Chain A
Amino acid sequence: AQTVTQSQPEMSVQEAETVTLSCTYDTSESNYYLFWYKQPPSRQMILVIRQEAYKQQNATENRFSVNFQKAAKSFSLKISDSQLGDTAMYFCAFLSQGGSEKLVFGKGTKLTVNP
């Protein structure tokens, strides 16, 4: 069974600065997807960024980028130029490839962006 670990329960960053959230996972599969989801206070979960395991190139989406280390089973999220609206819970998630929509989530990191 897959497991996802986020070792930072809470983090804070000053507006306009850069912050990195950590995630490690365990799986015996070679093909899978990894995601970072954002859940703002009292708002819906939204997808921030995804990474296909077969791609060596790290995914980027505007101010969000990942550092995917497949051999180390590490998948960190870097947020550049942090904004107040980035304040949220961030969840790292794993999805096996093929035949299932079952996401395995980490426990989450509560990120606070301070003005």
Chain B
Amino acid sequence: KAGVTQTPRYLIKTRGQQVTLSCSPISGHRSVSWYQQTPGQGLQFLFEYFSETQRNKGNFPGRFSGRQFSNSRSEMNVSTLELGDSALYLCASSLAGLVGYNEQFFGPGTRLTVL
């Protein structure tokens, strides 16, 4: 079974631009979560999508948005990029929706650099 894939793996943008990152979950997984990882703040939860609906949202400004498609693939968008948005963006997928615990599997991440 293929793992979680994220594209692109590396991205360089300039301040003020916008960017779209993509995440393809493991086949059959319906939940996709996004995290931002920086040296200063660590890993912070951005949002989670389940069955095309945002189910949970972290404490990030409205410049950060996401969506999920009917095939469970998810995209996140950051508009008006700032230097502080430079980070590793991780997505994780899980079966979810079932009783009990469902392991989250992480992708390799997209390294975003804002100049």
Contacts from A to B (Cβ < 8 Å) = 33, 37, 43-47, 50, 52, 91, 95, 99-108
Contact = CB atoms under 8 A, between A and B. Distances in A.
B24 to A, nearest CB: 14
Contacts of B92: 45, 101, 103
15 contacts: A44-B3, A44-B109, A45-B92, A50-B103, A91-B42, A99-B55, A100-B56, A101-B33, A101-B94, A101-B102, A101-B104, A102-B58, A105-B43, A108-B42, A108-B43
A107 B96 contact: no
Given A45-B106, A107-B42, A102 B101 contact: no
Nearest to A99: B55
Interface string B8-49: 000000000000000000000001010100000011110010
B106 A102 contact: no
Given A101-B31, A101-B56, A101-B92, A47 B43 contact: no
B81 interface: no
B48 A101 contact: yes
Contacts of B31: 101
Interface residues of B, number: 25
A14 to B, nearest CB: 27
A46 B103 CA distance: 10
Given A44-B108, A108-B42, A100 B101 contact: no
Nearest to A37: B106
Contacts of A37: 106
Contacts of A99: 55
B96 A106 contact: no
Nearest to B49: A101
